[in-house]
Amino acid sequence: MSTDSYPYAERRIEGAGELVFTFHGTGGNENQFTGFAANLLPHTTVISPRGDVSESGAARYFRRTGEGVYDMSDLARATDKMSGFIKAHIEALEPQRVIGLGYSNGANILASVMFRDPSLFNRAVLMHPLIPFEPEAGKGLDKLEILITAGRHDPICPAPLTEKLEAFFKAQGTKTDSLWHEGGHEIRDAEIEAVIGFLRS
């Protein structure tokens, strides 16, 4: 485990009780949500890793062989590596509460880490996640609070798969809320408002 496994942006607040990890979408970088989280939660430390996979120059957290077709062995690699990165920062900072926020590919790696080790997070926001496989139920998912946001007509993250993910979490006893808009893969104002309400509650 190393705090330097990924390049990352950080807004450090010494002695902060909360720690937020943000995860960018494909083609984004470590700055995509760092400022958003820092402004939303001004007394919270924010850490934002940059994906270590390049897809035609676009940063991602794990490889895929096509739209919605994941390289499952690389997803396993990335999940192990990201879990170690997160654990290392938690051990170094000893926060009282840990929050995750991810969009698209970032939501997918965040979800995969939570499937593997639910104890790392207390709350999480998954914006436009795509989980095209059957997750394994992890012990401790019932202690999580999750917000899922999505577009009804998202061509990248089809609504039925998002609904299936939501049902999976609820079946594990996870406190799960959702916000749907009538658009596609873009982040809309209603989502931002829902995220603000969820994180500030």
DSSP string over the chain:
--TTSS-EEEE--TT-SEEEEEEPPTT--TTTTHHHHHHHSTTSEEEEEPPSEEETTEEESS-EEETTEE-HHHHHHHHHHHHHHHHHHHHHH--SEEEEEEETHHHHHHHHHHHH-GGG-SEEEEES----S-PPP-TTGGG-EEEEEEETT-SSS-HHHHHHHHHHHHHTT-EEEEEEESS-SS--HHHHHHHHHHHH-
Instruction: Please report the pLDDT score of residue 43 as a whole number.
Output: 93
Rg (CA), the chain: 15
The CA angle 131-189-186, to the nearest 5 degrees, is 40
Instruction: Please report the pLDDT score of residue 115 as a whole number.
Output: 95
Instruction: Please report the pLDDT score of residue 68 as a whole number.
Output: 77
> Per CATH, which fold does 8-200 belong to?
Rossmann fold (3.40.50)
Instruction: Please report the pLDDT score of residue 103 as a whole number.
Output: 98
Task: Give residue 53's region: left, alpha or beta (phi > 0; psi -120 to 50).
Answer: beta
CA-CA distances (angstroms) from residue 181 to 45, 56, 128, 154? 30, 30, 11, 10
10 and 45 in contact (C-beta within 8 Å)? yes
Give the pLDDT means over successive 10-residue stretches in the chain (201 positions): 91 93 97 95 96 96 88 96 97 96 98 96 97 86 96 96 96 96 96 95 83
| Pairing of the two strands 97-103 and 18-23 | parallel
Report which secondary-structure segment, H or E, holds 127: strand 123-127
Instruction: Please report the pLDDT score of residue 1 as a whole number.
Output: 67
Instruction: Please report the pLDDT score of residue 62 as a whole number.
Output: 96
pTM: 0.96
